[in-house]
Structure 1
């Protein structure tokens, strides 16, 4: 697959911009013409968290509009740089009529490849509450999730990124939080499962290995787009259109 990659922006906006940046940085390109072709459409998308909790309007009309715009502009596949928005992945795929990458599945695969069995998953309350990662955790992987009170603290980190707070301060605070809390959950790794959190990824400041879902998704896209047609060994998960309900 060598066509343009369509990126659903606005979910949230900074997370989508960061995904595009990481896609370029991880591509290995040296010249302008070597970078992947990307179409990014960022609309004002209603809160998925509010909708999934029954307190806000559906984001589906906007998300489906974005999918159609991406395909009309030439996208041959779609990427959603948001774990929570994967609750609507089936509808987005149906609206666009092209394959949609699966961040959740790619994250599960990465955990399996690295033999992490007890990851502490940091994500939005909707992603956690709906168990969006759970169908993709195989071979004995058992996710740990923050307690209710500590989930509120994770929400605070996510919201700070969304409002453009100082990322360096966010990194320091997140590192301290993870290093203090993760051992109590018996975690062997930490999944930055909301794509706002990779913007404040503490990296080497952590005592546990980290799975950065933005990088996992970007690497999956690059593997697929670099694979020659029919090269199964180089391909990654890009499922045929299947409508899923969460």
Structure 2
């Protein structure tokens, strides 16, 4: 099997969630004791989040992490967060091994489930920037994002609560999804931040739940097994 490399630390909690899915999915696919080799490079989230050079500096951090994983022998590389995919093309260009996009894996899963109209939740950057929405629209999906006030609230919940495993605002997030199901006819919700599955799980809401972290990890394991 191919060796998987993960750029983690954005946030550490999301990286832990990736690792939990790595264990769960590997056992489902291979049995209780077989796992693809996995290397995790966990960056310093404070240096990433508060970088004085903005996305230029963050991209440099991600590229350095990807190159370190390549030197360590990784044959597949992924970033264990949605928002950093805003610079996915630049990071992929900097290494010679295959990188696996969380957005590409999500699109494949959405097509498999036959969903067309979805609500996108995530960080403020993920919900407002074009990189995520445009990729989904170009793939044929109708994408709705919350209003400005809701975007600020969801972003705050992610960084102030879920990043510390605080689930106090779970009822708000569940009701937000149900509001868009009632009023806009969404068929699914994209958990476009890898902290969100801590609060929203299948069965919590009346629409399809797309756990991007789990979908991404499953795709990595499938590719590793080829």
Q: Same fold (TM over 0.5)?
A: yes
Q: Would the alpha carbon gap of residues 79 and 186 (structure 1) be closer, same or farther in structure 2, given more than 3 Å must change? A: same
Which TM-score applies when normalising by structure 2?
Answer: 0.87
What SS is found at the alignment partner of 1:3?
coil
- 8 Å contact from structure 1 (residues 105, 136) kept in 2: no
Deviation by residue 1:119-172 (Cα, 9 ceiling, x = unmatched): 01102221222222222445642101101111112112211111x1434x4444
Match of 1:234 in 2: none
Name the structure where strand makes up a greater proportion of residues. Answer: 2
Deviation at 1:192, TM superposition (A): 0.6
Deviation by residue 1:199-218 (Cα, 9 ceiling, x = unmatched): 22232121111111011101
What SS is found at the alignment partner of 1:75?
coil
RMSD: 2.3
What is the CA–CA distance in structure 1 between the aligned matches of 2:213 and 2:55, rounded to whole Å? 26
Q: Would the alpha carbon gap of residues 181 and 64 (structure 1) be closer, same or farther in structure 2, given more than 3 Å must change? A: same
Match of 1:154 in 2: 154
Q: Are 2:122 and 1:130 aligned?
A: no
Q: Are 2:35 and 1:35 aligned?
A: yes
- 8 Å contact from structure 1 (residues 179, 206) kept in 2: yes
Name the structure where helix makes up a greater proportion of residues. Answer: 2
What SS is found at the alignment partner of 1:215?
helix
What is the CA–CA distance in structure 1 between the aligned matches of 2:139 and 2:96, rounded to whole Å? 32
Which TM-score applies when normalising by structure 1?
Answer: 0.81
Match of 1:236 in 2: none
Larger displacement relative to structure 2 (178-187 or 208-217): 178-187
Deviation by residue 1:41-89 (Cα, 9 ceiling, x = unmatched): 10114446x77xx867721222111111111111111011211101121
Match of 2:81 in 1: 82
- 8 Å contact from structure 2 (residues 188, 209) kept in 1: yes
What is the CA–CA distance in structure 2 between the aligned matches of 1:77 and 1:212, rounded to whole Å? 21
Aligned positions, number:
221
What SS is found at the alignment partner of 1:19?
helix
Provide structure 2 residue ranges, at least 5 long, that are not aligned to the other structure: none
What SS is found at the alignment partner of 1:8?
strand
Q: Are 2:90 and 1:91 aligned?
A: yes
- 8 Å contact from structure 1 (residues 5, 37) kept in 2: yes
Provide structure 1 residue ranges, at least 5 long, that are not aligned to the other structure: 228-246
Q: Are 2:190 and 1:176 aligned?
A: no
